[in-house]
Amino acid sequence: MSSQIVNPAAVPGRFGPYGGRYVPETLMVPLFELERAYELAKADAAFQSEFHGLLKNFAGRPTALQFASRLTAHLGGPRIYLKREDLLHTGAHKINNAIGQGLLGVKMGKPRIVAETGAGQHGVASATIAAHLGLECVVYMGTEDMARQALNVSRMRMLGAQVVGVEAGSRTLKDAINEAMRDWVTNIRTTYYLLGSVLGAHPYPTMVRDFQSVIGREARDQILATERRLPTHLYACVGGGSNAIGLFHAFLQDTSVKMVGIEAGGRGTELGEHAARLGIAQGYTGARPGILQGTYTYVLQNADGQIAATHSISAGLDYPAIGPEHAWLADERRAEYAAISDDAALAAARLLARTEGIIPALESAHAIAGLVDRAPQMTKDDLVILNLSGRGDKDMDTYSRLL
Q: Residue 69 contacts by C-beta under 8 Å, 6 or more apart in sequence? A: none
Q: Is 300 helix (H, G, I), strand (E, B) or coil?
A: strand
Establish whether 107 is a catalytic residue. Answer: no
Of 40, 47, 390, 5, give the one whose Cα is nearest residue 215.
390
Give the separation between CA 183 and CA 105, rounded to whole angstroms: 16
**Is the CB of residue 140 less than 8 Å from the CB of residue 126?**
no
Counting Cα atoms < 13 Å in the Cβ hemisphere of 274 gives 29
Report helix, strand or coil for 295: strand
Among 61, 179, 46, which Cα is nearest to 114's?
Answer: 179
CA 201 from chain center: how many Å?
16
How far is 229 from 238, CA to CA, in rounded Å? 26
Query: Whole-angstrom Cα distance, residue 368 to residue 346?
Result: 10
Per the residue annotation, which of 126, 170, 312, 389 is the catalytic one? 389
Which DSSP helix (H) or strand (E) runs through 83? strand 79-84
Closest residue by Cα to residue 130 from 84, 90, 171: 90
C-alpha pair distances (Å), 68 with each of 243, 244, 352, 361: 20, 19, 9, 17
Catalytic residue among 35, 85, 116, 218: 116
Contact 349, 360 (CB under 8 A): yes
* Kind and range of the H or E run holding 30: helix 25-42
CB neighbour burial string for 327-352, b if at least 16 within 10 angstroms, e if fewer:
bbbbbeebbbbbbbbbebbbbbbbbb
Is residue 179 flagged as an active site residue? no
* Coil/strand/helix, residue 171: coil
How far is the C-alpha of 209 from the C-alpha of 224, rounded, in Å? 22
Residue 154 annotated as catalytic: no
Choose the catalytic residue: 83, 94, 174, 394: 94
Kindly list the catalytic residues.
94, 116, 389
